[in-house]
A and B are shown apart, each in its own frame.
Chain A
Amino acid sequence: MIEFERFKLNNGLKVIVHTDVSTPLVSMNILYNVGSRDEDPEKTGFAHLFEHLMFGGSVNIKKYDEPLERVGGENNAFTNNDVTDYYLTVPRQNLETAFWLESDRMLNLAFSKRSLEVQRNVVIEEFKQSYLNKPYGDVWLLLRPLAYTTHPYRWSTIGKSIEPIQQATIEDVKDFYARFYNPNNAIMVLAGNTTVDEIKVLAERWFGSIPAGEEVIRNLPQEPVQMEPRSLTVERDVPLDCLYKAYHMGGKMDKDYPAIDLVSDVLSNGNSSRLYQSLIKEQQLFSDINAFLTGDEDGGLFVVTGKLIKGVKMEAAEAAILEQLNKIKVDLITESELQKVKNKVESLMTFNEMRIQDRALNLAYAEHLGDINMVNDDILRYQAVTSEQIREMANEILRPENCSTLYYYSKS
Chain B
Amino acid sequence: MSIINRKQKPPIFEIAPDRKVVELIVPKVYTLDNGLKVYVINAGTQELVNVEFVFNAGIWHQDHLYVATSTNSLMKEGTQNMTARQIADELDYYGAYHDAATENDSAFHGLFTLNKYLPATLKVMEEIIKRPIFDQNEVDIYLRKRYHSLLVKMEKVDFLARIHFTGLLYGPQHPYGRFGKAEEVLNVNREDLVAFHKKFYRSSNCQILVSGKVEESVIDLLNQYFGGDDWDGPVISEEALFEIQPAGELFHHIEKPDALQSALRIGKVLFNRRHPDFPGMHVLNTILGGYFGSRLMTNIREDKGLTYGIGSGLVLLRHSGYFYISSEVGADVADVALDEIFKEIALLQKVPVTSSELKKVRNYLGGTFLRAVDGPFNLIDRFREIHENNLDIDHYYRMLETIQKITPDEIMELANRYLSVDSLYRLKVGK
Size of interface on A: residues with Cβ below 8 Å to B: 83
A67 at the interface (CB under 8 A from B): yes
Q: Is the CB of B367 within 8 A of A73?
A: yes
The A interface is mostly helix, strand or loop, or mixed, namely: helix
A132 to B258 Cα, complex, angstroms: 11
Complex contacts, B181 vs chain A, CB 8 Å: none
B253 at the interface (CB under 8 A from A): no
Complex contacts, A348 vs chain B, CB 8 Å: 95
Q: Is the CB of B260 within 8 A of A340?
A: no
Which stretch (B9-17, B234-242, B408-416) binds chain A?
B9-17
Q: Is the CB of B261 within 8 A of A133?
A: yes
Complex contacts, B169 vs chain A, CB 8 Å: none
Complex contacts, B363 vs chain A, CB 8 Å: 69-72
B387 at the interface (CB under 8 A from A): no
A80 at the interface (CB under 8 A from B): no
A66 to B293 Cα, complex, angstroms: 6
Q: Which B273-314 residues have C-beta < 8 A from chain A?
A: 291-293, 301-309
A146 at the interface (CB under 8 A from B): no
A272 to B368 Cα, complex, angstroms: 38
Complex contacts, B93 vs chain A, CB 8 Å: 272, 336, 339-340, 343
Which of B3, B88, B155 interacts with A238 by CB under 8 Å? Answer: B155
Beyond A273-B92, A348-B95, whether A287 also contacts B48 by CB under 8 A is: no
Distance to closest chain B CB from A341 (angstroms):
8
Beyond A69-B364, A70-B364, A280-B141, whether A237 also contacts B258 by CB under 8 A is: yes
Query: Per-residue 0/1 for B151-168: is the Cβ within 8 Å of any A Cβ (1 yes, 0 no)?
Result: 110111100000000000
Beyond A272-B85, A287-B148, whether A24 also contacts B374 by CB under 8 A is: yes
Beyond A277-B85, A307-B148, whether A350 also contacts B46 by CB under 8 A is: yes
Q: Is the CB of A69 within 8 A of B95?
A: no
A25 to B370 Cα, complex, angstroms: 8
B22 at the interface (CB under 8 A from A): no
Complex contacts, A132 vs chain B, CB 8 Å: 260
B388 at the interface (CB under 8 A from A): no
Complex contacts, A67 vs chain B, CB 8 Å: 9
Q: Is the CB of A74 within 8 A of B367?
A: yes
A288 to B146 Cα, complex, angstroms: 10
A145 to B43 Cα, complex, angstroms: 48
Query: Per-residue 0/1 for A317-353: is the Cβ within 8 Å of any B Cβ (1 yes, 0 no)?
Result: 0000000000000000000100110011111101101
Q: Is the CB of A97 within 8 A of B9?
A: yes
A65 to B7 Cα, complex, angstroms: 16
A316 to B13 Cα, complex, angstroms: 64
A298 to B274 Cα, complex, angstroms: 54
A100 to B4 Cα, complex, angstroms: 10
| Closest Cβ neighbor of B137 among chain A residues | A281
| Closest Cβ neighbor of A93 among chain B residues | B13
Which of A59, A118, A281, A344 interacts with B303 by CB under 8 Å? Answer: A118
Complex contacts, A347 vs chain B, CB 8 Å: 48, 94-97, 112-114
Q: Which B351-383 residues have C-beta < 8 A from chain A?
A: 359-360, 363-364, 366-368, 370-371, 374-375, 377
B228 at the interface (CB under 8 A from A): no
Complex contacts, A94 vs chain B, CB 8 Å: 10, 12-13, 15
| Closest Cβ neighbor of B212 among chain A residues | A354
Complex contacts, A205 vs chain B, CB 8 Å: 4
Which of B97, B330, B360 interacts with A125 by CB under 8 Å? Answer: B330
Q: Is the CB of B301 within 8 A of A122?
A: yes
Q: Is the CB of A271 within 8 A of B88?
A: yes
Which of B7, B305, B328 interacts with A129 by CB under 8 Å? Answer: B328
A284 to B46 Cα, complex, angstroms: 39
**Most central of A94, A276, A288 by chain B CB within 10 Å:** A94
Which of A134, A284, A336, A339 interacts with B141 by CB under 8 Å? Answer: A284
A355 to B9 Cα, complex, angstroms: 28
Size of interface on B: residues with Cβ below 8 Å to A: 77
Distance to closest chain A CB from B313 (angstroms):
16
B28 at the interface (CB under 8 A from A): no
Q: Is the CB of A238 within 8 A of B94?
A: no
Q: Is the CB of B259 within 8 A of A133?
A: yes
Q: Is the CB of B145 within 8 A of A272?
A: no
A71 to B306 Cα, complex, angstroms: 28
Q: Is the CB of B92 within 8 A of A71?
A: no
Q: Is the CB of B88 within 8 A of A270?
A: yes
A346 to B116 Cα, complex, angstroms: 12
Distance to closest chain B CB from A332 (angstroms):
18
A85 at the interface (CB under 8 A from B): no
Distance to closest chain B CB from A258 (angstroms):
16
A96 at the interface (CB under 8 A from B): yes
Q: Which B44-103 residues have C-beta < 8 A from chain A?
A: 44-48, 76, 84-85, 88-89, 91-97
B21 at the interface (CB under 8 A from A): yes
Q: Is the CB of B1 within 8 A of A208?
A: yes
**Most central of A24, A99, A103, A120 by chain B CB within 10 Å:** A24
Q: Is the CB of B12 within 8 A of A121?
A: no
Q: Is the CB of A71 within 8 A of B305?
A: no
Distance to closest chain A CB from B346 (angstroms):
23
| Closest Cβ neighbor of B147 among chain A residues | A287
Complex contacts, B309 vs chain A, CB 8 Å: 129
Which of A129, A310, A340, A346 interacts with B308 by CB under 8 Å? Answer: A129
Beyond A121-B306, A347-B96, whether A353 also contacts B46 by CB under 8 A is: yes
Complex contacts, B91 vs chain A, CB 8 Å: 270-272
| Closest Cβ neighbor of A119 among chain B residues | B305
Q: Is the CB of A70 within 8 A of B152?
A: no
Complex contacts, A381 vs chain B, CB 8 Å: none
Query: Per-residue 0/1 for B93-125: is the Cβ within 8 Å of any A Cβ (1 yes, 0 no)?
Result: 111110000000000000011100100000000
Distance to closest chain A CB from B157 (angstroms):
7
Distance to closest chain B CB from A21 (angstroms):
10
Q: Is the CB of A272 within 8 A of B359?
A: no
**Most central of B4, B112, B301, B308 by chain A CB within 10 Å:** B308
Distance to closest chain A CB from B364 (angstroms):
5
Beyond A347-B114, A353-B46, whether A24 also contacts B364 by CB under 8 A is: no
B417 at the interface (CB under 8 A from A): no
Beyond A22-B43, A118-B304, A350-B114, whether A134 also contacts B15 by CB under 8 A is: no
Q: Is the CB of B96 within 8 A of A209?
A: no
Q: Is the CB of B303 within 8 A of A122?
A: no
Q: Is the CB of A307 within 8 A of B152?
A: yes
Which of A25, A59, A70, A240 interacts with B374 by CB under 8 Å? Answer: A25
| Closest Cβ neighbor of A204 among chain B residues | B1
Q: Is the CB of A288 within 8 A of B145?
A: yes
Which of B1, B12, B45, B85 interacts with A22 by CB under 8 Å? Answer: B45
Distance to closest chain A CB from B9 (angstroms):
6
Q: 5 smallest A-B Cβ distances: which pairs? A: A72-B367, A121-B305, A347-B95, A287-B148, A72-B15
- Can you name 6 extra interface pairs (CB under 8 A) apart from A70-B359, A97-B10, A120-B305? A69-B364, A73-B367, A96-B10, A128-B330, A135-B155, A272-B88
Q: 11 A-B pairs, CB-CB below 8 angstroms?
A: A60-B6, A74-B291, A133-B259, A134-B155, A135-B155, A205-B4, A272-B89, A281-B141, A287-B145, A340-B92, A347-B48
Q: Show the binding face of B for A, using Cβ within 8 Å.
A: 1, 3-4, 6-7, 9-13, 15, 21, 43-48, 76, 84-85, 88-89, 91-97, 112-114, 117, 141, 144-145, 147-149, 151-152, 154-157, 258-261, 291-293, 301-309, 328-330, 359-360, 363-364, 366-368, 370-371, 374-375, 377
